Amino acid sequence: MGIQDYLTETLIISDLKGKNKFEVIEELLRPLVSEKHVMHYDTCLEALIEREEYLSTGLENGLAVPHAKTAAAEEMAVSFGLSQKGLDFNSSDGKSTHFVFLVVSPLDTSGPHLQILAQISRNLREPEIRQKLLSCSTSEEILKVIHHFK
């Protein structure tokens, strides 16, 4: 399964409002809870924040992938948010983050969790994909770009 199998328009935020990485994590967790992909907001949020405080999930090329394994998720779940203006995610390259994928998995999952993280990272290395995502203004447009991920 690929990232396309986990995302729907309701799990995509086309204009993130959060002003810092912790606000964005909360913002991206809400649709996962409302769509019943995550059962316990507080438990999941605690795992995500603990992981983020341990080591920032801000990568390169404007990408951040906050992720955690948690008892609050019975299956892997993913949400996505786009920040046109960019935000500080303490990225490894020191640049602003524009693309945030939130990934949560059950405690006993390894393979699919790692495969999704690798697929996200691999695709967001491509300048063309980043440009296409930045040109999107709706969840529907974003989903169309993500459906072409390899």
pLDDT computed for residue 40 by the predictor: 94
pLDDT computed for residue 1 by the predictor: 80
Domains of the chain, by residue range, sit at: 3-146
* Coil/strand/helix, residue 81: strand
Which residues of the chain register pLDDT less than 50? none
The CATH number of the structural domain formed by 3-146 is 3.40.930.10
pLDDT computed for residue 112 by the predictor: 82
User: What CA dihedral angle connects 144, 33, 16 and 115, to 10 degrees?
Assistant: -50
Question: What is residue 2's DSSP assignment?
Answer: -
Sign of the torsion angle spanned by Cα atoms 79, 84, 88, 94 = positive
Q: What is this structure's pTM?
A: 0.95
